[in-house]
Amino acid sequence: MSDHIILSRRAFLKRCSLMAAASGLPLWLMERELAAAEGPAPTKSPNNRPGIALVGCGSMGQGDAGNASQYGDIVALCDVDQRHLSSAAQRFTKGGKAPATYTDFRKLLENKDVHAIINGTPDHWHSLINIAAAKAGKDIYSEKPLTLTIDEGRHVIKAVRRNKVVLQTGTQQRSSTRFRLACELVRNGRIGTLQEVHVFLPAGIRGGPFKKVAIPPEFNYDFWLGQAPAAEYVEERCHANFRWWYDYAGGPVTDWGAHHNDIARWGIGQEGPISIEARVVTPPLPDGYTTPSEFESTLMWANGVKQIVKTTLDDTPYGGIVKQDGQRNGIKFIGSAGWIWVNRNEITANDRQILTDKLPETAIRLEVSNNHMENFVTCMRSRKDPIANVESGHRSASIGHLIIIALRTGHTLRWNPAKEVFVGDNAREANKHIARQMRKPYDYRFAG
């Protein structure tokens, strides 16, 4: 063996060791990840950069677009609030060239320079915009949760598949090495037979009543409301606070829940649960936000796994597990031979050997992505499905929708994940919540 090969191997192992020490991830995994990453970097040629449009120019949308600007050019912007639109236009003006601006996403979709959109709108606008973009032949990076209702997911899947566009759901934990490692270890029986999955979410906001004020002249409030029922304007209803109203979102169930329930489903390895029960822990205040700030839910899966999802403000120790954002926040997989805890900051287990022992070459391997936006742009070129494709986004969002239906009906419900209908007791009432009535003209016809 030549000195050059020996030195290269030593440098490689040193780099792996440094990465493992910095991340807390096992050395064998860092060796595998780094070896898989060896090769030519993706081209940064200006001739190979797609034109990307941002629809919904709030802070999350601008953050996504800033990330996307590493791989493509932000050529167009759309928002119903001129203040957000002006802010984004200033941010994404490059070399004196400003992106085209729109207040109606349908006009933006006519722009031939737009190859893909980032959908950073509130939840109740995700589906109609995604359907319209698919019909216009634009690829889609959509913020989570993918939909407001289970029925919307069926419509989005149909539009994406019929028009052969690429859709990436913004559940970016699918592109995290920590979460993928946890799910691979669980799927390969490293903690024995999976028995329970505990999902902890930060609590939501409790507030109200709110003072009605004049609609800002720069804000098209009726367009913002879209399919949701007409409602008097209060500042706390819109923009970042939309998620605490059932008309537009699902509170903590579909906020952090969209991320963690996606990982729970990835680790469980099935499409959806078969029974759901839920209760409100802290109810909303009268004339205030309508989603409960604290809840807990139990879901059973066909393979016998029990999933517990709950919000918590509790800062008491949880088996020595580190908290995140000042609250218990993460996922604990519990098996017959041990447990694994994972969140965005760490992965740990009751026995460190669960993590450090290398998986065999014959082990189940989950799809790999180490950068969610780059994975999306790569799939735009290859026309392959990204790691959080439309069906995955729909199935994971549906977990939150099922919990919300159980909370709102107050019933224990049985679910057929193959047919996507409630069955058994209380099914008739629950099935009415699979879809919601859309305020005209903002129904499916609005998407073209």
Q: 3-state SS of the chain: helix, strand, coil percent to 5?
A: 40, 20, 40
Predicted confidence band at 131 (pLDDT cuts at 50, 70, 90)?
very high
Q: What is the pLDDT of residue 39?
A: 40
Q: How many CA atoms lie within 13 A of 255 on its CB side?
A: 25
CA separation for the pair 403, 213 (Å, rounded): 33
What is the model's pTM? 0.91
**Token pair for residue 215?**
């609609």
Predicted confidence band at 26 (pLDDT cuts at 50, 70, 90)?
confident
Q: What is the pLDDT of residue 312?
A: 76
CA separation for the pair 202, 260 (Å, rounded): 11
Q: What is the pLDDT of residue 23?
A: 66
Placement of tokens 């735009």 in the chain: 380
Neighbouring-strand partners of residue 296 = 279, 310
Q: What is the pLDDT of residue 14?
A: 53
Predicted confidence band at 315 (pLDDT cuts at 50, 70, 90)?
low
Q: What is the three-class DSSP state of 99? A: coil
Q: With a cut of 80, say whether residue 20 has pLDDT above it.
A: no
Q: With a cut of 70, say whether residue 374 has pLDDT above it.
A: yes
Cβ burial 144-156 (10 Å sphere, 16+ → b, else e): bbbbbbbbbbbbb
- The percent of residues above 70 in pLDDT, for the chain, comes to 87
CA separation for the pair 178, 355 (Å, rounded): 11
Q: What is the pLDDT of residue 41?
A: 44
Predicted confidence band at 174 (pLDDT cuts at 50, 70, 90)?
very high
Structure letter (DSSP) for residue 327: B
Q: What is the pLDDT of residue 17?
A: 56
Q: With a cut of 80, say whether residue 326 has pLDDT above it.
A: no
Q: What angle do CA 316, 243, 436 make, to 5 degrees?
A: 125
Q: What is the pLDDT of residue 2?
A: 46
Q: What is the pLDDT of residue 25?
A: 81
**Token pair for residue 37?**
């990453």
Q: With a cut of 80, say whether residue 72 has pLDDT above it.
A: yes
Mean pLDDT of 347-367: 94
Q: With a cut of 80, say whether residue 443 has pLDDT above it.
A: yes
Q: What is the pLDDT of residue 330?
A: 93
Q: With a cut of 60, say whether residue 91 has pLDDT above it.
A: yes
Q: What is the three-class DSSP state of 441? A: coil
- φ and ψ of 23, to 5 deg: -95, -20
Mean pLDDT of 314-328: 55
Q: What is the pLDDT of residue 328?
A: 77
Per residue in 397-434, pLDDT tens?
A: 999 999 999 999 999 999 999 999 999 999 999 999 99
- CA torsion through residues 267, 262, 309, 150, sign: negative
CB 191 within 8 A of CB 337: yes
Q: Is the peptide bond before 441 cis (omega within 30 degrees of 0)?
A: yes
Q: What is the pLDDT of residue 211?
A: 95
Predicted confidence band at 382 (pLDDT cuts at 50, 70, 90)?
very high
Q: What angle do CA 167, 173, 176 make, to 5 degrees?
A: 110
Mean confidence (pLDDT) of the chain:
91
Mean pLDDT of 231-240: 96
Mean pLDDT of 149-169: 98
**Picking from 28-32, 79-83, 107-111, 348-352, which range would have the lowest pLDDT averaged per residue?**
28-32
CB 168 within 8 A of CB 379: yes
**Token pair for residue 164?**
């052969």
Residue 89 makes CB contacts below 8 A (sequence gap 6+) with 77, 98, 99, 101
- φ and ψ of 281, to 5 deg: -90, -45
**Token pair for residue 286?**
């009268």
Q: What angle do CA 340, 343, 349 make, to 5 degrees?
A: 20
Per residue in 276-302, pLDDT tens?
A: 999 999 999 999 999 999 999 999 999
Give helix 123-135 / helix 150-163 axis angle, nearest 10°: 20
